[in-house]
Amino acid sequence: MLVPPLCWGCGGVARLREPLCAGCRRLLHRLAPDPVLLCGLRVWAPVAYSGPARDLVRALKFRGAMAAADTMAAQIAANAPPELLDGEAGGRALVPVPLHPRRLRRRGYNQATLIAEALATRTGLVVADCLARSGSAATQVGRDRAERRAGPAGSIRIRAPAPARALLVDDVATTGATLAACAVALRAAGALDVAAIAFARTIGR
């Protein structure tokens, strides 16, 4: 109990319930306020996937730092284009990008779901966990750009009714192929408007 909270970026002392110290927060590479098109889908993220942002994502994914999801959601909620987080009637539903069941059992949680739930608390939007993943459990890590652009390993399917307006939620957007595959499944199930949001986006995408 006497050990101070440590920064996931540099290992230095951080404030209570803050996964990054003040210095690492200043090093976050802020991105433009407008969404970009990835594989034909509108995608927005507040920061680039580099430096402390990459460290934070890896801590959430691989080191059990589940509290980092709330920090990511806070960055999204504070900076997102207003039209993406419209919480009024008819607003979007937050749809987490699904994790393969085998990886979900091993990890114990889906980081996209944690971010979506934290974002729902901050915005008043609902979470529609309506997608599932099947087939190969291979990750995007280690796949080259061509393989990533070809789409995610395995397949994405609908497992519950799709919302009319969906906002996909993930921790990182790279080529956008996984998000696009999710969008295809949602539109096939009746979604009329699909966009995506992530905590970080690979620079140059």
For 165-195, write each residue's pLDDT tens digit.
Answer: 999 999 999 999 999 999 999 999 999 999 9
What predicted TM-score, i.e. pTM, was given to this entire model?
0.87
Domains and CATH numbers, the chain: 31-201 (3.40.50)
Give tens-digit pLDDT for 106-148.
999 999 999 999 999 999 999 999 999 987 555 555 545 555 5
Question: Is the distance from CB of 93 to CB of 166 less than 8 angstroms?
Answer: yes
Give Cα separations from 101 to 73, 89, 111, 132, 158 (angstroms).
24, 33, 13, 8, 14
